[in-house]
């Protein structure tokens, strides 16, 4: 096992992200030694140098590595002469995904998800071609879009006390990192990750679903599982997570909308994103279909304050925990960058470093495709642009904000609302024939104050870039 100094210095990582990866590695090495394995744990300038030293000292005949999820790591392993063996971090290998895609005109997540459900048997009644989805429907997504309930107390996440190993890692990585120091919320062993899975199934999953898209100042997690870092790091496997959900559903402990919503995230979205990533790389990482070139606003890196309550809230949660749930990522952070015309590569780099579950394979399609429409619609057939009205409906952020979510011009105009209309006016040619957003284009072009909106939008992006919004 090799800790590469160059990799650590390659980005300004959120300290909780870097801590999670490195502490989990060191603990895994300890567990292996305790189980009787000989572990060569190296600190090297680069992975190549660490491997070279290992080979020289141990006269290794062959080095086997579990297949990395991301292409750049996969290629590095090949260049270093390692033999890659299949891992268990996904239930559908990207080569099987490619075979599924072959000759399809539309590569829709929903079709892939149903194929996965049938083939893996999760939440299915009966077997073979006659098998039907449990609950009589494939998808309960429409039931999962309720706004945040008032005064609800969400189950608190489990924590683990930090020990000397954590403190040593934190001291080692601090010079390369930003964000608040680890609090114990993220597990760094498989046993602790399993404990969090059990906690999620028993306490959280029954309430997962109806408020999956809600955002509130009272809780950063609501009923989200917080399991993605463990799935992406290999501390949990998707099979064991889905098996646990199936068992809880079979015992009548979890409603179908919650079980289905969660299974869809794991065997649907997560695996679809991985397959799309491999199908599109290496070109995918350089796409910028909307020609967005503005730098990431300084407020993202903590170099400025903001009066936008939604943005301030989400960024403060990222700083505190290295986490934001998918709607906060898509509809606040991503949405703002999309409609403000921020370079998608800058957002991708920031999200990869800032979120504890960040990795190249997950960020390229999610950020460039889903969030920034930089792939021209391969991942999402419409741009995920919204004004303040959506954020107001799905959160409690707008109450008490300096801006007014329903105003698009004037001193107190909501930046999201202003930029939303400007976005559709700016990209009218591209989206005029898109059936999912053509109406927004028409409405934007008919606004009687459009020129004022566009002037206001210019001012908004200037102030955002200057850290004065």
Residue ranges binding ligand SF4 (CB under 6 A):
308-310, 388, 391-392, 397-398, 401, 403, 405, 414-416
Q: Which is nearer to ligand SF4, 359 or 460 (CB)?
A: 460
Question: Which residues, 6+ apart, have CB-to-CB distance to 84 below 8 Å?
Answer: 64, 65, 66, 67, 68, 74, 77, 78
Reduced DSSP (H G I as helix, E B as strand, rest coil) percent helix, strand, coil of the chain, to 5: 55, 5, 40
- Residues facing residue 404 across a β-bridge: 413
CA distance 172 to 23: 11
Question: Which residues, 6+ apart, have CB-to-CB distance to 44 below 8 Å?
Answer: 2, 3, 4, 5, 50, 53
Q: Which is nearer to ligand SF4, 123 or 337 (CB)?
A: 337
Q: Which is nearer to ligand SF4, 185 or 469 (CB)?
A: 469
Q: Which is nearer to ligand SF4, 197 or 398 (CB)?
A: 398
Q: Which is nearer to ligand SF4, 330 or 364 (CB)?
A: 330
Query: Least distance (Å) from ligand SF4 to the CB of residue 67?
Result: 41
Query: Least distance (Å) from ligand SF4 to the CB of residue 311?
Result: 6
The answer to whether the beta carbons of residues 271 and 90 sit under 8 Å apart is yes
Neighbours of 132 (CB within 10 A): 12
Query: Least distance (Å) from ligand SF4 to the CB of residue 390?
Result: 8
Query: Least distance (Å) from ligand SF4 to the CB of residue 335?
Result: 9
Residue corresponding to tokens 């289905």? 260
Query: Least distance (Å) from ligand SF4 to the CB of residue 403?
Result: 4
Query: Least distance (Å) from ligand SF4 to the CB of residue 315?
Result: 12
Sequential DSSP letters for 57-97? HHT-S--EEEPPSSHHHHHHHHHTTPEEE--SS-SS-HHHH
The answer to whether the beta carbons of residues 350 and 45 sit under 8 Å apart is no
Q: Which is nearer to ligand SF4, 325 or 405 (CB)?
A: 405
Q: Which is nearer to ligand SF4, 257 or 414 (CB)?
A: 414
For residue 364, give the nearest of 349, 353, 376, 377 by alpha carbon. Answer: 349
Which pair of tokens denotes residue 372? 């920034």
CA distance 65 to 85: 6
Query: Least distance (Å) from ligand SF4 to the CB of residue 467?
Result: 15
Query: Least distance (Å) from ligand SF4 to the CB of residue 414?
Result: 3
- Residues facing residue 103 across a β-bridge: none
Q: Which is nearer to ligand SF4, 118 or 393 (CB)?
A: 393
């Amino acid at each position: 096992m090799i800790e590469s100094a160059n990799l650590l210095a390659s980005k300004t990582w959120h300290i909780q992200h870097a801590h999670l990866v490195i502490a989990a590695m060191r603990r895994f090495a300890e567990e292996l030694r305790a189980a009787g394995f000989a572990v060569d744990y190296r600190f090297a300038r680069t992975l190549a140098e660490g491997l070279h030293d290992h080979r020289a000292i141990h006269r290794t005949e062959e080095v086997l590595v579990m297949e990395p999820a991301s292409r750049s790591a996969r290629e590095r392993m090949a260049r270093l002469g390692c033999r890659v063996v299949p891992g268990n971090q996904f239930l559908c290998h990207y080569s099987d995904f490619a075979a599924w895609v072959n000759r399809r005109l539309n590569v829709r997540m929903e079709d892939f998800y149903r194929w996965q459900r049938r083939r893996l048997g999760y939440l299915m009644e009966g077997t073979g071609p006659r098998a039907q989805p449990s609950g009589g429907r494939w998808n309960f997504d429409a039931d999962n879009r309720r706004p945040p309930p008032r005064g609800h107390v969400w189950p608190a996440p489990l924590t683990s006390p930090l020990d000397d190993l954590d403190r040593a890692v934190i001291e080692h990585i601090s010079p390369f990192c930003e964000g608040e120091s680890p609090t114990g919320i993220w597990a760094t062993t498989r046993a602790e990750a399993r404990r969090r899975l059990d906690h999620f199934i028993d306490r959280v999953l029954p309430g997962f679903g109806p408020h999956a898209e809600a955002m509130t100042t009272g809780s950063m997690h609501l009923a989200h599982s917080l399991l993605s870092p463990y799935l992406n790091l290999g501390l949990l496997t998707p099979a064991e997570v889905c098996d646990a959900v199936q068992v809880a559903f079979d015992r009548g402990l979890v409603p179908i909308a919650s079980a289905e919503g969660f299974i869809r995230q794991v065997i649907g979205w997560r695996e679809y994103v991985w397959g799309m990533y491999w199908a599109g790389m290496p070109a995918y990482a350089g796409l910028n279909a909307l020609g967005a070139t503005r730098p990431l606003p300084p407020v993202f890196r903590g170099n400025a304050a903001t009066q936008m309550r939604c943005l301030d809230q989400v960024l403060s949660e990222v700083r505190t925990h290295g986490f934001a749930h998918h709607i906060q990522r898509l509809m606040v952070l991503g949405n703002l960058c999309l409609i403000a015309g921020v370079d998608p590569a800058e957002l991708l780099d920031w999200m990869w470093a800032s979120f504890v579950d960040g990795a190249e394979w997950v960020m390229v399609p999610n950020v460039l495709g889903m969030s920034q429409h930089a792939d021209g619609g391969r991942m999402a057939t419409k741009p995920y642009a919204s004004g303040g009205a959506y954020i107001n409906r799905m959160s409690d952020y707008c109450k008490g904000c300096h801006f007014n979510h329903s105003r698009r011009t004037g001193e107190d105009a909501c930046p999201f609302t202003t930029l939303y209309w400007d976005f559709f006016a700016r990209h009218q040619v591209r989206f005029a024939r898109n059936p999912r957003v053509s109406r927004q284009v028409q409405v934007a072009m008919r606004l009687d104050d459009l020129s004022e909106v566009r002037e206001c939008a210019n001012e908004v992006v200037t102030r955002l870039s200057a850290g004065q919004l």
